[in-house]
Chains A and B, each alone.
Chain A
Amino acid sequence: MRVLACIKRVPITGGRIVLTDDSLAIDTRHLGFTMSPHEECGVEEAVRIIEAGGGDSVVLTLGPPEAVEQLRDAMALGIDRAIHLQTDGREWDGEATAAALTEAIKADEAASGRFDLVFFGNESADSGGFQVGARVAYALARPCVTGLKRVTIEGASVRCEQEVEGGRDVYVVPLPAVLTVKEGLNLPRYPSVPGRMRAGRKPVTATNPVRPEPRLELVRLVVPAGQGRRAESLGTGAAAAPAVVEMLRKAGVL
């Protein structure tokens, strides 16, 4: 098996989003970064598949030079090597991102063989475009199943389960396939200290693709107005219990 996990570096926004002065980006000066949550599950699934059946695993991202931190995080979980499509930090739209990733996948496959599975997150935590996985799948002429909460390899096919109203929808598609996953697919492990040390020595291949003009072009970001909740204090400690019960009664739930 050869498995690829595609990830995106995103800021950890905390309690309140603050924008840069030009309103074109989140002010990340005081923020940490992580990989987008759905994709963390894609990485974990890739590692489990290789652990169970053997083979090799690769992680791919398009992002600024600092995104190498997230590639190292993925390798600390067990991914073998990384491909980094370096940007200058400006945002790429979903269409441009998918085109660059497709090219990188084709190049890697030409050198090292076909990926049986390519994992994406269902949507990125930040821009939420809901499209990169489907675009890459179409460009590679491979079946794509989205929003998965369970993935089971069955010989030359993969059984895919999606959470829907009232239960789960099941799809079975032949390999090679492109799968987009959601958090809850698995519980990603914490990287071990030896895992982190090994990750530092694993290979990262970097290239610098040219950014096309975006056709979905960001004009500005706006932090939405709050919902006007008034934060009325019902008291402090256990003594507040009667006031809470009174509130519940007024709300009609008791």
Chain B
Amino acid sequence: MVLVLVEQAGGNAIDPSLQTLTLARSFGQPVHALLVGSATDLTQHGVAVAHVAQHVALGAYAPDAWAAMLNQLAVQLNASAVLAAGTDRGNEVMARFAARTGLPLAANCTSVSPGPPLTVTRLRWGGSLLEEARLNSERPLITVAPYVVPIEPSSMPADVEPFAPELTDENLLVRVVEHVAAPGGGVSLTEAKVVVSGGRGVGSKEGFAIIEELAGLLGAAVGCSRAVTSAGWRPHTDQVGQTGTKVAPDVYIACGISGATQHMAGLKGAKRILAINSDAQAPMMQNADYTVAGDLKEIVPAISAEIRKVK
């Protein structure tokens, strides 16, 4: 059997965990799930047994405790592989699991061939490059890149079993002690339907006034490239890319952005990309759906004026 850590939000399994359950079936073995704290319905996801971990200390997220539980259950069930979603939590829990068991870990995989030898395909450079690798391990540890593997429903009446982990004080040393809510207001980059984004070509901090004006007219979020945050023109929270935010708008408007792989890694979820750039050879202009060549300082205000005319 293979064991999958299933994360939950608001009482439901998160999509990246359901994607992981789909990929786990490629081992051709029964799939067991570990749920932490409370059960959730997994009957459409090919799960033979859902183990629900309950412990008085599990009210606050504690990554070492999650790793310890996952290991205890993997040993108890003699799991032939252990998987989790390649989310922040999934990756950190699996890294801690790998550390305490001395096993290799393949992070952000997109496919698995059970072998032997087991081979995986995994993301590098935030998805700009793929790696095929052999995972030489008696118990392969794998995280699954989010939003790459489509969820394939598979009906199976999952048995639900309680699981009582043994946790030490050391497992609970690193735990969430406080949650600070984000200040409200503004359009969130991750959820915006339109993102108007500026790069080095905007020229200055003040140059973003025309970007903000267009974003305001479209109800859009303002984004930027890494060059812009490094220059201090915009805060890092506006940065789109591999080390910034990954966006999935209906339309992404890239103004004066060259289109380095660092930036493009944040755009894979964008439905349509409009590139505005004075350099027709810029990678952004080659990798967009629509292009306007020329000076963004003329083009962006002209688009704003045109929107005002038709609104």
Contacts and interface: CB of A to CB of B under 8 A. Distances in A.
Interface of A: 13-17, 26, 37-38, 93-95, 98, 123, 125-131, 133-135, 137-139, 143-147, 161-162, 164-174, 182-184, 187-188, 215-224, 226-227, 229-245, 247-248, 251-254
A165 B177 contact: no
A-B interface, 3 closest residue pairs, ranked by CB to CB distance from nearest: A15-B283, A184-B236, A138-B99
A248 B88 contact: no
B216 interface: no
Contact of A251 (B99, B226, B251): B251
A253 B287 contact: no
A125 to B, nearest CB: 7
A126 B229 CA distance: 21
A86 to B, nearest CB: 23
Contacts of B260: 13-15
A247 B61 contact: no
Contacts of B225: none
Contacts of A223: 129-130
Given A219-B119, A232-B291, A234-B290, A169 B105 contact: no
A39 to B, nearest CB: 11
A252 B250 contact: yes
Given A17-B129, A170-B180, A183-B236, A244 B292 contact: yes
Contacts, number: 265
Nearest to A229: B289
Interface of B: 9, 61, 63, 86, 88, 91-92, 94-96, 98-100, 102, 104-108, 119, 121, 123-137, 143, 173-182, 193-194, 218, 226, 229-230, 232, 236-237, 239, 242-244, 250-251, 258-262, 268, 271-275, 282-283, 285-295, 298-299, 301-303, 305-307, 310
A243 B310 CA distance: 13
A131 B98 contact: yes
A216 B105 contact: yes
B310 A245 contact: yes
B171 to A, nearest CB: 11
Contacts of A239: 302
B273 to A, nearest CB: 6
Contact of B303 (A224, A241, A253): A241
Contact of A236 (B94, B96, B178, B292): B292
B250 A251 contact: yes
Contact of B287 (A161, A183, A229, A240): A229
Contacts of A138: 96, 99-100
